[in-house]
Amino acid sequence: MRTVILSRRVVLGPAAPSEGKTSLRLVGAAVVLEGTTIRSVHELSDGTPFVPEAGDTVIDFGDKLLAPAFINPHTHLALGFLRGLDMRGVARGNMVEEFFFKVERRVSPEDIRAFVRIGAYDSLLAGVGLVWDHYYAGEQVAEGLCDVGLAGVVAPTLQDLSGPGMDAWEAQLDATARIDDSQRFRDQGVLAALGPHATDTVSAELFGKALDVAQARQLPVHAHLAQSVEEYRRARQRHGTTPTEWLERIGVLERAPSSVFAHCIYVDRQDLGRLAKSRSAGVYCPYSQLVFGFPAPASEWTRAGLSWGVATDCASNNDTMNVQKELRFAAGHRTVGTTWSHEFERFLAGDAEASEATWRRRTELCELNEQDAAPAALLSRVWSEPGKWHPKVRVGVIEPGALANLLVFDLAHPALWPAHDPLQAIAMADTGPAIWAMFVAGKCIGVPGAFHESLVRSETYRDAHREARDRLAKLDLSV
């Protein structure tokens, strides 16, 4: 059975590929969905009407804008149960080891599934149609996604040197294979990835075992890389090199069908070159990094030629699953460096002449980073870039064969109006309230025109909230 979606404003890629450039168009089109994917796209810019086949379900959204659903390429949905805690104290040290690991040892697989459901609802309400989730009890994460209807790439966490998953890595390798084998999961848009946690919690031997599975099954590796000074220090002490070069030495960069590395804070320009020359991508989580560390220099990633996307990380660090909101920080790379420049420091110290030098520095930074702030470039970080990282699925684009993850925006909504440039508005505005309808893996989520209300007032959400609340009440969050 096919569903035909009509709109006079559909976000499509360029008519012909443009070397080294990101380009998007708004055109009238009919988008045909079949099963979980987009079967065909018919441009209607010449005024020719689309003739549906007998039995097609036709939905005409008129002037409302049809776009790819957002992708959150690095998160831990289950950790939303820590949202709203004051993290300032634990953030002074290594938050992962000194806080998360201690609390996570008390969380059961059933807790994880319950908490994932809430994170999945939070994601859908923000327009996120697919997440890359890295967490313990991977099958429970996958089940939680299916319970709610959110697509995802699930990487069951692998650890053997330290961390809550130390004694479960064999079970989680098996779980990765089962997720990959499951037709039921695929029908929901849920796929597998290999999840070695980080270079200081996973041995070379376990990385090798993960790579064997990744190669045999054509699955990506999803790991944290150089996210803390402790991880960087341990690589220097244990291996005499950086975390990134160690991954190169043990074959990860060469052998993995693709690699998705979160954070990459302690990755220098030489290591960026290593990543860019391999089948690797970086994930920038600006608001989370502001809490547990400091923002990575993503503009350097662009200059190195590294594919990169923008993500939220977990709600415990960030307090939101709205990945689109992260784009504003990415756009700010054009100017934010001015605040901590030598020129402005001179001005703050009382050198009035430095005011002119400060503005020149600001102008230089704008010119250097202008390409990252273009609307199409920003949107590519949550659409097409992470949408090409998994060897078994294409997502984040409206084209034949892609996963049918779609958003319908009401441009007349106060959150977007008047949307002089709709793409600029979607990149920089608060788009969540303006979502009119959503499709994930070909299925309509909620009720068009009452999208948010239909989800949060549903019996399934109330049941999910009740279970998560009751389970949270029994957890000890002290450290």
CB 258 within 8 A of CB 390: yes
Q: Give me the amino acid identity at 361.
A: R
Q: What pLDDT score was predicted for residue 96?
A: 84
Where residue 125 falls among pLDDT bands split at 50, 70, 90?
Answer: very high
Q: Give me the amino acid identity at 57.
A: T
Q: Domain coordinates of the chain in residue numbers?
A: 2-69+396-445, 70-336+370-380
Q: Across the strands, what pairs with 58?
A: 4
Query: Whole-angstrom Cα distance, residue 122 to residue 73?
Result: 15
- Write the DSSP assignment of 164-214 as a string of letters: TTTT-HHHHHHHHHHHHH-HHHHHTTEEE-BEE--TTTS-HHHHHHHHHHH
pLDDT digits (tens, 9 = 90+) for 211-227: 999 999 999 999 999 99
What angle in degrees, to the nearest 10, is found between the helix axes of 138-148 and 459-473? 150
Question: Mean pLDDT, to the nearest integer, of 68-73?
Answer: 98
Q: What pLDDT score was predicted for residue 18?
A: 47
Where residue 23 falls among pLDDT bands split at 50, 70, 90?
Answer: confident
Matching CATH number, 70-336+370-380, of 3.20.20.140, 3.40.50.300, 3.40.50.880, 3.90.930.12 = 3.20.20.140
CB 439 within 8 A of CB 404: yes
pLDDT digits (tens, 9 = 90+) for 344-394: 999 999 999 999 999 999 999 999 998 899 999 999 999 999 999 999 999
pLDDT digits (tens, 9 = 90+) for 127-164: 999 999 999 999 999 999 999 999 999 999 999 999 99
CB 445 within 8 A of CB 101: no
Question: Mean pLDDT, to the nearest integer, of 423-442?
Answer: 97
Length, in residues, of the chain: 479
Cis peptide before 49 (omega within 30 of 0): no
CB 214 within 8 A of CB 173: no
Query: Whole-angstrom Cα distance, residue 224 to residue 197?
Result: 6
Q: Across the strands, what pairs with 67?
A: 407
Question: What share of the chain has pLDDT > 70, as a percent?
Answer: 98
One fold for both 2-69+396-445 and 70-336+370-380? no
In the block, which residue shows the tokens 């001179």?
346
Question: Mean pLDDT, to the nearest integer, of 92-112?
Answer: 88
Q: Name which residue leads in pLDDT, 453 or 101.
A: 453
Reading the block at residue 476, the tokens are 């000890």
Residue 225 vs residues 36, 135, 251, 270, 404: alpha-carbon distances, Å: 32, 15, 15, 15, 31
β-strands 57-60, 2-12: how paired? parallel
CB 155 within 8 A of CB 446: no
Q: Across the strands, what pairs with 42?
A: 30
Question: Mean pLDDT, to the nearest integer, of 188-197?
Answer: 98
Helix, strand or coil, per DSSP, at residue 26: strand
Q: What pLDDT score was predicted for residue 417?
A: 96
Where residue 73 falls among pLDDT bands split at 50, 70, 90?
Answer: very high
Q: Name which residue leads in pLDDT, 317 or 6.
A: 6
Q: Please provide the CATH number assigned to the domain covering 2-69+396-445.
A: 2.30.40.10
414, with CB counted inside 10 A (0-12, 13-18, 19+), is exposed
Question: Mean pLDDT, to the nearest integer, of 334-349?
Answer: 95
Query: Whole-angstrom Cα distance, residue 171 to residue 191?
Result: 17
Query: Whole-angstrom Cα distance, residue 135 to residue 111?
Result: 12
Q: Name which residue leads in pLDDT, 89 or 163.
A: 163
Helix, strand or coil, per DSSP, at residue 265: coil
- Write the DSSP assignment of 49-93 as a string of letters: PP-PPTT-EEEE-TTSEEEEPEEEEEE-GGGGGGTT---TTGGGS
**Is the confidence at residue 479, as pLDDT, over 60?**
yes
Reading the block at residue 295, the tokens are 């923002």
What average pLDDT does the structure give for the chain? 95
β-strands 128-135, 70-75: how paired? parallel
Residue 398 vs residues 189, 387, 425: alpha-carbon distances, Å: 16, 11, 19
Helix, strand, coil fractions of the chain, as percent rounded to 5: 45, 20, 35
pLDDT digits (tens, 9 = 90+) for 350-359: 999 999 999 9
**Is the confidence at residue 439, as pLDDT, over 90?**
yes
Q: What pLDDT score was predicted for residue 86?
A: 82
